[in-house]
Amino acid sequence: MNRYVAITAFVLLLIAYTSASEAAVRLRVSQSPPWALPGELFPVSVTVRALNADGTVDKTYVDPVTLAIKEGTGTEGATISGETVATPVEGIATFSELSINRIGRGYVLIAASGALSADSQPFTVGSGQVLLWGRNNYGQLGDGTNNNRNAPAIHPALTTVTAVSAGHTHTLALKDNDSVWSFGYNLYGQLGDGSTLTRTSPVQITNFTGVIALSAGEHHSMALKSDGTVWAWGYNGYGQLGDGTTTERHTPVQVSGLTGITAISAGGYHSLALKDDGTVWAWGNNWSGQIGNGSEDDQYLPVQVSGIRTAVAISAGDSHSVILTDDGTVWAFGNNADYQLGTSSVIYSDIPIAVSGVSGIKAVGAGNAHNLAVKTDGTEWAWGANGYYQLGDGTTTKRFTPASLTGPADIISTDAGYRHSTALRKNGGVWAWGYNYYGQLGDGTLTNRQVPKLITSLTDISCISAGGFHTAAIKMNLPVPFVWADVVTALRVTAGLQTINNVQFIRFDVEYTGASAARIDLHDVFRISRKVMGMEDNP
């Protein structure tokens, strides 16, 4: 009898130990909007997963999860609307029909449940004007010419854009009216317009909607739709379109077998996709192991990258790949000839290896053969190839140990081009450094920059994309504020001009500043609003 009691106690103890060891230890925001428009529903739902210590979902977790705008991010005073508390189903909390009311860059959502919390990737609320500069030999600046530019210029036809991506010699843009546009080199159909004609002005990819993210590679292009599917077009000699063939495609085709994708990245001749479960999938050229599946064979269909289960960001270089996991660790794999994997050996790796010497990372960017990373404290770090000062340390010495850069601070995102580098500040400013032969740094010169330089002509930037030898950015369509406070009615009216779909609107925000509640008289609002806009008072 005592033996049975002992066995029963042992079993109960084992069950208790197993339950405790598998209990959720952290949250991960597995899907968040890549962008949003003020006052409009997010293009995708936000999902939050409760994770066990090994990165798997704790399907028994049912504690409510609360979602909010993280303090100090986005625009001060912004609010999030919709159901911001959700109960997880099989460990996953889903937040649908959310919106944020104010334009701004660098918004971060924070999910919290008890003592657990997690941040989303940063995103912008609002659209903007595309600026382009650098090399233009194939019309990748989209201005109707082949003239290079050493300073940013606004593209007059791309004024309400939510996403932009600069490839090696072509550019992609997504407008807020759900249309995708492309321009530049098109020998392999990478513009997606059904032809192989190079375009020096933007052309729309027809019958292609529902897109929320774009990525331009060497000679191929990728798009992510709101339903979690991935589409690709252009050169396919190594299977980088992921349709199981090596057939060139001049219009978008769906990548086979992928659903639940939240981010994409097109490299030299390979492609990456991040799934909502934290796994990363890759396909295409694999001569140096940049697919990360333990082989060097080209992959014509997506395969899972080995050993990664909690990824939050991805970036594909020319022949290497970089992944950021939710604990702030950077992983790299593929070509290592220039130490881009962060090891002192030049031997490539066909599986992900952790980059030593750097931690607490929140954003990454892979260039041709160098990498950039942003720490949670807003500092910029770099390693890899450095023949053209792309590491920004004042030398041309390649580095296998990530080094902090002097100058850039409060950085929220970063992107690496072929031989140049960029970093976006929280206040909308941009730093650039490295190769500048074609003016791709945008500082008005053709001088290579050994250390980061603040590009003073760039303000209110919400997105920066470094291509082969050109650069693209989005300048936010910010309302121009006018404020009037009326002491008699205790009304404070803020008005601003805002352009949406090429139509200019006047927006009024009315606030009652009195000590006690009062009914707002619309006649007073109208009268004060006319004063705000410089009109005469009309009783």
* DSSP per-residue codes, 319-337: SEEEEEETTS-EEEEE--T
Measured in whole angstroms, how far is the alpha carbon of residue 177 from the centre of its chain?
A: 19
- The predicted structure's pLDDT at residue 23: 81
Confidence label for 478 from pLDDT (cuts 50, 70 and 90): confident
Residues of the chain with CATH 2.130.10.30: 182-198+212-460
Phi, psi (degrees; rounded to nearest 5) at 492: -120, 115
Determine the average pLDDT of the residues in 59-81: 96
Separation CA 51–CA 116 (nearest Å): 10
Both tokens of 481, joined, read: 């504020």
Report the C-alpha gap between 193 and 204 in whole angstroms.
Answer: 7
What pLDDT does residue 3 have? Answer: 46
What value, to the nearest 5°, has the Cα angle with vertex 125 and ends 215 and 422? 50
**Residue whose C-alpha is closest to residue 312's, from 363, 351, 272:** 363
2-123 in CATH: which number? 2.60.40.10
- Residues of CATH 2.60.40.10 domain(s) within the chain? 2-123
φ and ψ of 525, to 5 deg: -60, -45
Res 6: pLDDT: 43
Q: Read off the pLDDT of residues 253-290 as tens digits, 9 standing for 90 and up.
A: 999 999 999 999 999 999 999 999 999 999 999 999 99
CATH node for 182-198+212-460: 2.130.10.30
Per-residue pLDDT at 48 exceeds 50: yes
Query: In residues, how long is the chain?
Result: 539
| Cβ–Cβ under 8 Å, residues 355 and 325 | no
Q: What's the CA gap between 460 and 430, in Å, rounded?
A: 9
| Residue pair 493/159 in contact by the 8 Å Cβ criterion | no
Q: How far is CA 143 from CA 157, 171, 473, in A?
A: 9, 12, 15
* pLDDT over threshold 50, residue 441: yes
Predicted confidence (pLDDT) per residue in 516-532, tens digit? 555 555 555 565 555 44
Q: What is the pLDDT of residue 362?
A: 97
What torsion do the CA atoms of 297, 303, 308, 309 make, to the nearest 10 degrees? -170
